[in-house]
Amino acid sequence: MCICVNCRHVHNCVTYQLIKKQHNHRQNLNIIKNSFIPKKTLININISYVNQNTYYDWDLIECLSFVEIPGQWIFYR
Q: For residue 27, what are the domain limits?
A: 3-75
Other residues' Cβ atoms within 10 Å of the Cβ of residue 9: 20
Q: Please enumerate in sequence order all residues whose Cβ is within 8 A of that of 34, keeping only pairs 6 or more positions apart, or say none.
A: 12
- What is the count of structural domains for the chain? 1
Q: For every one of its 77 residues, what pLDDT tens digit does the chain have, with 9 covering 90 and above?
A: 788 888 888 888 999 888 888 877 655 545 566 789 999 999 999 999 999 999 899 999 999 999 998 877 776 55
CA 8 → CA 45, 48, 50, 55, 72, distances in Å? 23, 30, 35, 29, 6
Cα–Cα distance for residue pair 58/77, rounded to 1 Å: 21
